[in-house]
Amino acid sequence: MNPQELIQDIRSFCENHADPAIVQKYARYFKEGYDGYGVASGEFMAKVKELLASKTITMETVVEASYDLMRSEKYEEPSFAMQLLKGFSKEFTKETFRLIEKWFSIGIRNWAHTDGLCSELLSPMLQKQLIGMKDFSKWRKSSYRFQRRAVPVALIKSVKKSPDVKPYLDFLDPLMMDTERVVHQGLGWFLREAWKVHPVPVEAFLFKWKNDAARLIFQYATEKMAKEERVRFRREK
């Protein structure tokens, strides 16, 4: 199966399994808008497994197809690209990271694809040491807001296993004045999870930024703290 045949197979499948009720159900979770076929998650994953089990596609086929799939505004098509590529994780190299990097300029346009990309592809690559934190350096200044969001989100699993949180906090420091809500959410999520393992240094970091950084970061970061602990991070008037 060549890339175009794979793309057509995926699109035909999605059209044949479309359900408007599913689209309506999930649309409310996407402030930036949601356009999907409405394929049930069970049917979606069954198709992914079927394609991978067929042995008719290679990692190169998936990579080539991914660029067209990522351009699609239909939610399921980028999702297929990510899940199919995940099926070839044993073949991943540093170059795979560079290929994934291109997706943000093509079509990663919502929080769900961003976070799925982080948990399914980027975090495992970090765990296997195929990439390191420094490989995300340029992402912090990306013109694509979801690429900037991906930086803290991709690092969550790693920081929870690290004995030292300081390198992570130093690395994310340049993002603390970002203007985008989706980035604030990603940073807050990272800081909340890091706080569970490294409360003292994370609280010191939050104190440093409490009068300047977006309040949404603190809303997420302090979510698991007791009420009397959260008030310490209110902005001073």
Single-letter residue type at 34: Y
Average pLDDT over residues 66-76: 96
Which residue is associated with the tokens 């497994």? 49
Q: Is the pTM of this model over 0.95?
A: no
Quickly count: other Cβ atoms within 10 Å of residue 74's Cβ. 19
Judging by beta carbons within 10 Å of its beta carbon (0-12, 13-18, 19+), is residue 131 exposed, middle or buried? buried
Q: How far is CA 26 from the centre of its chain?
A: 18
Average model confidence (pLDDT) for the chain?
A: 95
pLDDT at 237: 65
Residues recorded for the chain: 237
In this predicted model, what pLDDT tens digit does every residue of 17-67 receive, in sequence order? Answer: 999 999 999 999 998 889 999 999 999 999 999 999 998 999 999 999 999
pLDDT at 235: 86
